[in-house]
C-alpha cells in the first residue's frame, strides 16, 4: 500500500499541521505503508506536474493550515492541477483524508472544501481531522491529542485496506449531468506557455488575422457541413412556437459543429457561427439531434438519458421543448 501526503502550508516550525502529519506518517509506516511526502511550499514551481504522482497510490492525505482565510494558495493550485491534468479514472479509485489545522477561524470550512473538491474530482472520501490550535506546543504535551491522531491514521489505513464503500455524493451527480467539462491535451508546460502568449496583444492580433485567413481558405471545403447545419436550422424554423415574453440565447455544439439560436419573443435568429456568450450551452451528438428534429426524442429526454450535456440556466433549457415542438 502507498499513501502520498501533500502539505499545503508554509512550512513554519510551529505549524500544528506538520505535527499531525508527522504522527500520521509514523503510524502508517509502522503498518508497512509506503509514505511519500510532498511539501508544496518547496515544490511550488512544479505543482502543475504533481498530479502525475497520483498514478501509483492507494490513498492520499491533503494537509493544510488556515492562517487567515481558506485552504491557502499552494493547496488550491494543486487541486486546480488535478482538475486540469489529473487522470480522473485513477483519481476515482484513490481515498483522500483531509487534515486542516487552524490558527484562526475556519478549520471546519477548510476540511469541507478539501472533501468537496476531491469528490468533484471523482475521488473517494475518508474521515479527516480538523481543529483550532493556537499554540502547536499544546499538541505535543497532551497525549490525548497524540492518541486521537494515531487512531485516525489507523482508521485511514483500514478504510484504504478494506476499500470501504461510501454513499455517492450529490456534487458528483450534478457535475456529470450539468457540467460540460473542457478537456485539454496540453501538458502543464504548454498551458503555461500558451497563457504567456495570450497576454501578448500583438500575438493575439496576429492569431486572429491568421484564423480569418484560414476561415476564408477553407470556407469552400465546408459546404457539406454547412448543408447539414442548415438542415437543422430549417427544421427548427418550421417547428418554432413562440413563447410570449421569452428571451434567451442557446449555443449548441452538434458534434464539433456549432449552431446558435437567439430568441426574442416571436423573433428567432439562427446561425452556424459560435456566439461569444449564451444563456444555455449544449453539447449533443449529431445522431441525437437527428432524433429530436425527427420527433423521436425531446431535448429534455435526451438530457435525462445522458445523451446530452448542458451548462447554464436549467429553466431556460427546459423551455426548448416548448419553443421547438417536433413531437405530435
Question: Which residue in the block uniquely carries the three cell numbers 440556466?
Answer: 313
pLDDT category at 171 given cuts 50, 70, 90 is low
CB neighbour class for 190 (10 Å; exposed up to 12, middle 13-18, buried from 19):
exposed
Contacts of 242 (CB under 8 A, 6+ apart): 263, 265, 266, 268, 323
DSSP 320: H
The C-alpha atoms of residue 62 and residue 45 are separated, in whole angstroms, by: 19
Q: ∠ CA(240), CA(243), CA(249), 5° rounding?
A: 75
Q: What is the pLDDT of residue 175?
A: 57
Least confident of 2-6, 146-150, 307-311: 307-311
* Domains of the chain: residue spans and CATH: 2-166 (3.40.50.360), 224-323 (3.30.1050.10)
Per the prediction, the chain carries an average pLDDT of 86
pLDDT in tens, 8-54: 999 998 899 999 999 999 999 999 999 999 999 999 889 999 999 99
Classified as helix, coil or strand, 239 is coil
The tens digit of pLDDT for each residue in 178-214 reads: 554 555 556 655 555 555 555 556 666 777 777 777 7
CA contacts within 13 A on the Cβ side of 271 = 13
Tell me the per-residue pLDDT of 13-23, one tens digit each, with 9 for 90 and over. Answer: 889 999 999 99
Amino acid at each position: 500500500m502507498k499513501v502520498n501526503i501533500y502539505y499545503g502550508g508554509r512550512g513554519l516550525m510551529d505549524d500544528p499541521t506538520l505535527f499531525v502529519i508527522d504522527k500520521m506518517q509514523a503510524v502508517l509506516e509502522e503498518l508497512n505503508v509506503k509514505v511519500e511526502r510532498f511539501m508544496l511550499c518547496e515544490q511550488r514551481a512544479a505543482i502543475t506536474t504533481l498530479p502525475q504522482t497520483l498514478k501509483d497510490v492507494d490513498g492520499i492525505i491533503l494537509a493544510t493550515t488556515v492562517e487567515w482565510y481558506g485552504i491557502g494558495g499552494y493547496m488550491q493550485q494543486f487541486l486546480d492541477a488535478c482538475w486540469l491534468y489529473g487522470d480522473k479514472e485513477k483519481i476515482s479509485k484513490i481515498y483522500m483524508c483531509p487534515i486542516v489545522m487552524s490558527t484562526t477561524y475556519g478549520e471546519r470550512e477548510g476540511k469541507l472544501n478539501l472533501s468537496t473538491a476531491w469528490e468533484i474530482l471523482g475521488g473517494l472520501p475518508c474521515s479527516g481531522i480538523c481543529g483550532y490550535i493556537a499554540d502547536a506546543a499544546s499538541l505535543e504535551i497532551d497525549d490525548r491529542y497524540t492518541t486521537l491522531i494515531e487512531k485516525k491514521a489507523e482508521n485511514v489505513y483500514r478504510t484504504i485496506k478494506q476499500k470501504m464503500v461510501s454513499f455517492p455524493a450529490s456534487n458528483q451527480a450534478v457535475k456529470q449531468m450539468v457540467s460540460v467539462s473542457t478537456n485539454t491535451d496540453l501538458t502543464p508546460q504548454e498551458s503555461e506557455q500558451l497563457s504567456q502568449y495570450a497576454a501578448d496583444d500583438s500575438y493575439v492580433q496576429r492569431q486572429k488575422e491568421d484564423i480569418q485567413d484560414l476561415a476564408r481558405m477553407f470556407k469552400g471545403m465546408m459546404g457539406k457541413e454547412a448543408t447539414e447545419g442548415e438542415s437543422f436550422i430549417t427544421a427548427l424554423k418550421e417547428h418554432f412556437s413562440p413563447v410570449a415574453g421569452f428571451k434567451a440565447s442557446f449555443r449548441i455544439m452538434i458534434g464539433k459543429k456549432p449552431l446558435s439560436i437567439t430568441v426574442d419573443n416571436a423573433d428567432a435568429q439562427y446561425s452556424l457561427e459560435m456566439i461569444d456568450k449564451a444563456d444555455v450551452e449544449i453539447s449533443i451528438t449529431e445522431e441525437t439531434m437527428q432524433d429530436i428534429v425527427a420527433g423521436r426524442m425531446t431535448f429534455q429526454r435526451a438530457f435525462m438519458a445522458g445523451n446530452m450535456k448542458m451548462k447554464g440556466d436549467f429553466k431556460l433549457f427546459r423551455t426548448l421543448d416548448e419553443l421547438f415542438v417536433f413531437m405530435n
